Each structure stands twice: as structure tokens, then as C-alpha cells.
Amino acid sequence: MPARVLHILDATTPSDAMDILAHVLPRHEHRLAALGHRSTKQLAAAAGIHEPMAFFHSLGWADPTGWRGVRRIIHEFQPTHVHAWGIPAAIAVTMSRFKGQRLVTLVDMPRAGYLQMLQFIHKGGLWVSVSPCHWAVTTSWLKRELHGHSIAADAVTLIRPAVCAPHAAAGGLREELGLLPEDGPVLLLGGDGGTGTLLAHPGMDPLAHGGRGGPRHDLGLWAAAILQQIFPRIRAIVRLDPRGKPDPGLERLMNNLPDDDVTVVAPADWPWSRLLSLTDVLLVTPDGPFAAGSILHAFGAQVPVIGTPVDSVREHITDGHNGMLAASTRPREIAAAVERFFTQPALREKFTRQALADAGPRHDLGALVRGYDTLYQ
């Protein structure tokens, strides 16, 4: 029987997941639905998904209105598989008592409150007639995290996302961002938003204080401010969050650096590939779990990557081989790594060439498609 797949999105579905969904959709008969937020449709369109999408009112994961909406579309569409692209969507599918194949794709670590729901989702809630859920993840560190929350190894499949095609260089991009011809080097801070509440103090390593705040743009901006002593016209681009969520790191340091011109804010609707076309280095400074789609975009655009030494970055970067890792998550150490890179011009060609060579077979589009084809059987 051919697969009929109902895809359920929600307000936590990130743009990295949308990029994967765009490759998966054409393969099977499907329908799209989303819980709540209007920005979901904008993210889908940015990923090239322009198909009709049913929207259900939902005030959060515990709102029965969303559960009933999912139950209704399941009854109408009669899918063989229901694929959730976020924890709130997975809870709604669980509460709908769907008895077919349930799938969940995760590209980033769910927030702490959602981690308590993983077993409930996996077992199908309180209904013994529901089969266990199957999970697809994009990184090995995320697979380990699920195993650490008692999700069996055979219930989790690692399917790596594909390397993204570069954006065609276009004139006028620097001017649109307010960059002058003499401005540079230009750093692009990877990752969207962030939930961190910890601002690093001098000499403090955020990891030693329980930091798990996502992209942590405050660390990258602080490092850029240190580097201004060497590169007076250095610029650090931060893209606004596509869902309009606050960016604590940006808000803290936006107007609190010695020079307000260091920080350049890019519109949320500018894709990574476009920003990378005018970037010298992608700087990723998370202090814990991190959705690393920006790194794959950098590989495709042949832009070197420098990052902090956390699992979510080490998954993609081997220090001195296809990129560079700072000695710690301290801003001073991050700045030191960027300085070393710019004082050795030969590293640029080495890193970009090796990164693309490694990522080509590891992040193959064909393998991505085949992986999901297998899950839909």
C-alpha cells in the first residue's frame, strides 16, 4: 500500500526542519497541517514549500483544541503515517489516538519541559493499542540524548540533512545591510534566536555554569568586540529570528559594545545562503545543543567555520581539518581562534575544500531521501 503521510508542524518547528521537509514532500501522497503560529507558513514558504496547509488554533501543547483538529484531519485524510515535526505536534498526534505509524523528526534538543514528555509520546500515551513512535534525528549527539531519555536504540534513526546549495552572489547586498566597502572582516553569527539567560563574565566558561542557551550570540559579539582592537572595522552580522522570538544575546550586547557599528542586524527573511555570500567566516558560538543548519549552508557556500568546542559543533567540525574550534566557550578564546585564522591565509582554502569534500558523501541528498522512504514503508 502506498504511503499516505500527514505532516504536522507547530510553532517550534525550526527552519532546519523545513529544509528537510521540502525534500521529503514530493516522494509520497501527503497533506500538511500546522498548530497555531502564522510564522510557520512563512518558514515553509522560505524553504520552498508553497502547498496548501491546514491551520488549527492552539494555545500550546496542552490545548485540546489542537488535539481535536489533528484528530479531525486524520479522520478525513486516513493517513498510513503521521509525521510530527516538533514536540507539541507529537503530543497532539499522541492525544488523537492514531493507531498507524507515528514518526517524529528532531533537529535540535527540545526544551527542558518537553523532555519530560518524550516517554509519553514514544509509548503512545495511555492507549495500549497504539504502536510505539519512531524518531528521526539529524545528529549523533541528539541520538545519544534520546537514548539517555530511555528511547530505545532501534526506535531512533539518524538521517543527516543534505548540504545546501550556495546562493548566487548578487550586487548590492552589502549596501542593503549598511556595510561600507572598507568594512571587514565580516563575521556571520550562526544559529537563530536562543533561550540563554546567562551572560558570561570575564574569565568565565559558560559550560562550567550550566550554560545550554542555544546559539549564544552574546559570546560571538563579545569576541568581535575584542577583535576590534586588531581589526578596527570588523563587523558581526546577526540574523533576526525567523519566528520573531527574542534573541537574548543580541538584546544584551546590541547597544552595549564599545562601538555600536560592530553589530549588523540582518532581516529574518534573508536566508543563510544569501548572508554567506558576503561573509568571511561563519562563527558559531553555542554553549550546548544547537541546530547546525547554518554550518551546512557554510559548507555549501565554501565559507570557513569557526566554533566553540561543544558536541553540536564537533559533530561537523574537526579542529584544524575542516574548520577551527576555540579552546573554550569564553569570548577571549573565541576571539583568539578567529585571530589565528586571519593570520594564516592558507587556512581558508584548506578548510573550505576539506569541509565540502567531507560533507558531500556524509550529507548526501539521496541518502536523506532514501532514509525517509524507508521510514514510510
pTM of the model: 0.91
* pLDDT at position 132: 87
- Please give the C-alpha separations between residue 228 and each of 10, 186, 326, in angstroms, as whole numbers: 41, 12, 18
208 pLDDT above the threshold of 70? no
Nearest residue to 120 via CA among 148, 140, 93: 93
* pLDDT at position 61: 85
* Residue pLDDT, tens place only, 302-354: 999 999 999 999 999 999 999 999 999 999 999 999 999 999 999 999 999 99
For residue 359, list its beta bridge partners.
Answer: none
Going along the chain from its start, the domains and CATH numbers come out as 4-159 (3.40.50.2000), 173-361 (3.40.50.2000)
What is the average pLDDT across 93-112?
A: 92
At 34, is the pLDDT very low, low, confident or very high (cuts 50, 70, 90)?
Answer: very high
At 210, is the pLDDT very low, low, confident or very high (cuts 50, 70, 90)?
Answer: very low
What is the average pLDDT across 15-21?
A: 94
Percent of the chain surpassing pLDDT 70: 92
Residue identified by cell 569534500 is 357
At 209, is the pLDDT very low, low, confident or very high (cuts 50, 70, 90)?
Answer: very low
The set of cell numbers assigned to 343 is 593570520
* pLDDT at position 343: 95
The rounded mean pLDDT for the chain is 90
* Residue pLDDT, tens place only, 236-260: 999 999 988 888 889 888 888 888 8
The set of cell numbers assigned to 153 is 536504540
